[in-house]
Structure 1
Amino acid sequence: MKQNITNNPKVIRKRPWSEDEDMKVLELIQTFGPQKWTQIAQYLQGRVGKQCRERWHNHLNPSIKRSPWDEDEEWILYLYHKVFRNKWSEIAKHIIGRTDNSIKNHWNSGMKKKQNEFSYKFNQIKLKFQREGLSTLNEYDIQQKRILEAILYNKPLRIEQNQFSENDNLEQPQIQQKKIRIEVLQSEKYTDLELIKEDEQMIQQNYQHHELDYSNRFNSHFLLQLFGFESKVLGFQESS
């Protein structure tokens, strides 16, 4: 009977991260990229992949904002919360530099005193929108306008393509090389399509030229036959 054998199971350490561990995680991310967390955790005694991933996304990622929330950010958070409610990970996709954990903590603490103020501001916008229509939103920037339209028209809010790239500023050499390969393949595909298109145009032109040449030959032959027939008729008339 086959037995399950576990060799030296890894003991998970629930303790604060040290500076040396943080530096080690950063070095390993430069090697493996911010994806292979299980592989990264193998180099850190007492850590598992989930711990390394959370440490990166919540603390070590250079794109994370650690500055206090300003009023504009809080207003944007209020608007996104009206759409997604307590789906913090969805909100984090739209607010650049803030993690879902920091968004959740700020909403449950710093936003409590300001929700009435933002609610009054939103209701004023809603009343003005009902009176004047969409032109009301022209005074707001693109991000605010998009989310206000989604709320007022009750339509889903989609993520812009460039927001993903802004949320993750760290691009590893492997990722860059992959992007280059994709661009080259797309370029080659585009070139192949262009060549096929040119071949089709040449075939069409040759076909049209052949049709014109055939038409000219047919017309010439027809004229020659007609001229010969007329000559025979005239010769017959003269002989008679």
Structure 2
Amino acid sequence: EDERLLAIVSELGLKYWKLIGIRHGLRDGKQCRERWHNHLNPELIYGPLTPEEDEQILTFYSEMGTKWSVMSQLLRRPANLIKNRYYSSLSKKRDRRTSENSSCCSPRSKKRIKRGK
């Protein structure tokens, strides 16, 4: 099934997903596109993310927000992998960092100074 999709994509390119789905026969265009971008694209690296990549994702997220496809191009990883990694564990890590950094200086930790009239 994947070999068939690879052959069709090499013939038609990455633009005509509806036609690719019709030619494939077992998947529709959207499914073919998702399979390609998340599992088969030879330009991407698959497998576990490294701790360094986790740090890069956190940095990218703080700079550009949820632009997963841009991050995908920069890291050469599937956008879906990056998004899932962020929401499954990195967002919690970011939240912990934020709360640790702000707890020392939060408005509640500062004492109010009474000013006399």
Runs of 4+ deviating beyond 3 Å: none
Matching of residues 81-230 of structure 1 within 5 Å: 81-95=61-75, 97-112=76-91, 114-115=93-94, 116=96
Displacement of 1:49 after TM fit? 1.5
Corresponding position of 2:6 = 26
CA deviation map 1:73-94 (0-9, x unaligned): 1111111100122232233232
The residue that corresponds to 1:126 in the other structure is: none
Number of aligned positions between the proteins: 99
Please show how residues 6-85 of structure 1 align to structure 2 within 5 Å.
21-85=1-65
The 1-side partners of 2:83 and 2:36 are apart by 18
Query: Which one has more relative contact order, counting CA pairs under 8 Å at least 6 apart?
Result: 2
Query: What value does the CA root-mean-square deviation take over the aligned residues?
Result: 2.3
Q: TM-score, normalised by structure 1?
A: 0.37
Structure with bigger gyration radius: 1
- Mapped to 2, the partners of 1:70 and 1:46 lie a distance apart of 34
* Distance apart, 1:106 and its partner CA: 0.1
* Structure 2 residue identity aligned to 1:32: L
State, as a whole percentage, how many aligned pairs show the same letter. 35
Q: 1:112 to 1:38 in 2, by over 3 A?
A: closer
Gaps of 5+ in 1: 1-20, 124-240
- Alpha-carbon separation, structure 2, partners of 1:54 and 1:87: 17
> Unaligned stretches of 5+ in structure 2?
102-117
TM-score by length of 2: 0.70
